Amino acid sequence: MNHVLPLPQDLPLRFRQPDDVFQIRISLLEIEPSIWRRLLVPQDVLLPRLHSIIQACMGWTDSHLHQFKVGEVCFGEPTREYEPGPIDHRRVTLNQILPGRGSSCIYEYDFGDGWEHLIEVEDEVPAGEVTATLPRCLSGERACPPEDCGGPHGYAEFAAAIRDPLHEEHESYLQWVGGAFNPEAFDVNRANRLLSRLAVRPPKRTRH
């Protein structure tokens, strides 16, 4: 039996300004100092593709389940592991759940560790002003936490041990993470190289 909920009939099907590109900010919740990325994405990007974009720009390895949450409504992959499942997101676009500037939702990755990302639409950029291929990472700060480190609380312990050579867990954590980890590191060029695999041409401006 498929427990994935159908697409709601009242979900908006059209966007009032189809030319606009969304400038979004993605930030990990419950982490200080903040780990965040700022991106330009097509406003009508499908949620599965947005998931891949988030994975690439943040630095995750797509090893766990995910979902998008708008209030109490969840959108995600069909699954029987968590029932009732989320609304099947394969035909849902970003602008259907976030209609424009000022709107926001939660992207959750790895239900065990519980990584919650706040996605905010900061601006709507006219297509004519966009010359780069999309998606495009504009800026960001700090490294993505390692997979399976225990969520925000576990990462705080991990980061404290990594920063302090005298910490009793410093060597074991360093070995676990592969020998080196810089929590402050973020390379926007590397992020864009990864995003280039998901690139589309800038949208053409619609004539009215």
Same domain, 29 and 103: yes
Q: Do 110 and 151 fall into the same domain?
A: no
| pLDDT per residue as tens digits for the range 115-174 | 999 999 999 998 888 888 999 999 999 999 999 999 999 999 999 999 999 999 999 999
Total domain count, the chain: 2
Q: Specify whether 127 is located in the same domain as 164.
A: no
**Residues 71-108: tens digit of each pLDDT:** 999 999 887 766 677 999 999 999 999 999 999 999 99
- Domain containing residue 75: 21-142+186-198
Residue 44 gets which letter from DSSP?
A: T
CA 77, CA 16: separation in Å to the nearest integer? 27
9 falls within a domain:
no
DSSP letters of 89-149? Answer: -TT-BHHHHS-STT-EEEEEE-TTTTEEEEEEEEEEE-GGG--S-BSEEEEEESPPPPTTS
Q: Give the CA count within 13 Å in the CB-facing half-sphere of 79.
A: 15
Residues 62 and 125 in one domain: yes
169 in the same domain as 191: no
Residue 66 and residue 103: Cα distance in Å, rounded? 20
- Same domain assignment for residues 192 and 159: no
Residue 12 domain flag: no
Give residues with Cβ within 8 angstroms of 32, minimum separation 6.
none
